[in-house]
Amino acid sequence: MLIISSGPALSLELTGITNSHDPSTLIRDQDTYFQFTTGNGVWFSRSTDLKHWDNPGTIFGAGWPSWISSAVPEFEGHFWAPDAIQMGDYFYVYYSVSTFGSSRSAIGVARTQSLKNPNWQDIGMVVQSHGGADEINAIDPALFRDHDGKVYMSYGSWFGGLGVAEINQTTGKLAGTVSHIYGGGHQSIEAPYITRQGDYYYLFFTRGLCCRGEDSTYEVQVARATSVFGPYTEERNLLPNQVENRKGPGHIGVLKEQGCNYVSTHYYDLNDNGAAKLDIQRMSFVDDWPSMSSDFSSANSCGGVSDGLYRLVSQHSGKPLEIQNAATDNGGNVVQYDFFGGLHQKWYVIRQDTSTYSLINANSLKSMDVWEGSHEPGANIAQWQYWGSEGQQWRINFDGNQVEIKSKLSDLVLDVNAKSQANSANIIQWTPNGGANQRWLMIRQY
C-alpha cells in the first residue's frame, strides 16, 4: 500500500532499481507491486510501497519458447512492452516479440498463479503480424477490464495503427476478431492503453520517436469514445515531450487502487544521460477528460475500493457470497456458502465512476443484479448479463474494516435473509439496519 504523509504538494520520488522502458500496468499480488518492462527474458522489479523498487527477475531464463523462433525468426531474446492482468486464479503477462522497424511480430502470453512465488507457464501466441505495411503490428499489448467484466487487449505500433480484441479469460487467447480503432498509414502512433470512467472509454497512445534517450520525441495523447471499439475522437495532448528533467514519456498503464488512478509511464532522465526510468503519476478526471498530477500529498486513499478479485464474506455467518450450484445462466441465484475456493465464490469489483461499482461473478462473468429491477425490500439478488442498469450498480460504504453494499437503484442493501447462518441461505435486498447480516468483509483474492 502506498503511504504518503499529508502536507504540501509532494511528488513520488522513486528509489532503488527504477530502470524501465515500456512499463506494464502496475499489478499487485498481496503486499507487493510488480512492474514488467522491456528486457531480456521479460524483466520485472518489485515494490511494497510503489516508491522503492528492487528484487528484479525475469519470466524466462535462458532461451525462449520455441514458437517464437518460427513466428519471428530474427528474434534474439529481447522482449518488448509487456502488460499484466489478473484473470480468475492466474496472473497473465502478455509480451511482444519483434525486431526494430519490422511488422513481422507477435504477442505471446505466460501465466502463473502467484507473482510472489511464480511458476511460469508459457501458453503461446495470441496474435501475430506478418510484415505487411498495412497490418496492425503485433506489439505493445495492453489489457483492460470493462464494467461488464469482459477483458480487452489493445495493441499496435505505426504501420496499420491500433487494434483491439476481446480476450477469452479461460485460455488467455483472443475471444473474437481484431477491430482497427485508430491510426494507420504508418503514422507515428503506438503503445495504446484503454481505460473507462463513467460513460467514456479513453484511448491513450504515444506519438513520436522512442529509444533515443535525450533526443526522444515521445509524447502521450488521448482520445475518447462511448464504445470500446470507437470511434475515438477529440484527440488532445496529455503528457508533453518534456517537463523539467523528464523527457519523452510513453507507454501508459493505469492501476486503480483505493479509488485512485496511478498511472505508470517511462521517461528519459536528462539528469542521468537519458536513462529510461519508471515514473508514477496520479490521474483524475475534469469535465470528462483525464488530468495528470505529480502531487501525492494526499494519496493514501482517494475514497474507494481497489479494483480486483474478492470474496464477499458475511460478518454474520462467515460465509461468502456465491452463485448457487456454480450456475452460469441468467437468473442464477446469489446465496451464502462455506468457502472452498470455487471461482463462483469470487467477484470482480470494478469501479464505474466516483461512487458506484459493478460486481461481476468470476465464474459466469455475469453481474450481481436486483431481480426484475425491484425497489422493494425482500427482492431477490441474482446474476444477469451486464447491461448497465442501476440494478447492476452498487455503492460500497465502509464502516471500519467492513462494508455495506447498497443498490444504486433501490437504496437498499445486501442482506442474508432471515439472518440465517445456513449454507445456501438466500441473499435479498433490505432496508439498512446495521445488522451483521448486512455487513461484509471484502477479502482480496490473489
Q: Which residues are catalytic?
A: 22, 190
Burial of 231 (0-12, 13-18, 19+ CB in 10 A): exposed
The three cell numbers of residue 357 are 461499482
Measured on CA atoms in the order 108, 106, 247, 290, is the torsion positive or negative? negative
Burial of 332 (0-12, 13-18, 19+ CB in 10 A): buried
- What DSSP element (H or E) covers 68? helix 66-71
**What whole-number distance in Å separates Cα of residue 207 and Cα of residue 98?**
19
Residue carrying the nine cell digits 514519456 = 249
Angle of CA points 2, 204, 349, to nearest 5°? 50
The three cell numbers of residue 113 are 498463479
Q: Check residue 157 and report its DSSP letter.
A: B
The three cell numbers of residue 311 are 470474496
300 closest CA partner among 26, 20, 10:
10
| Residue 114 · residue 68 · CB < 8 Å | no
379 phi, psi to nearest 5 deg: -65, 145
Neighbours of 284 (CB within 10 A): 14
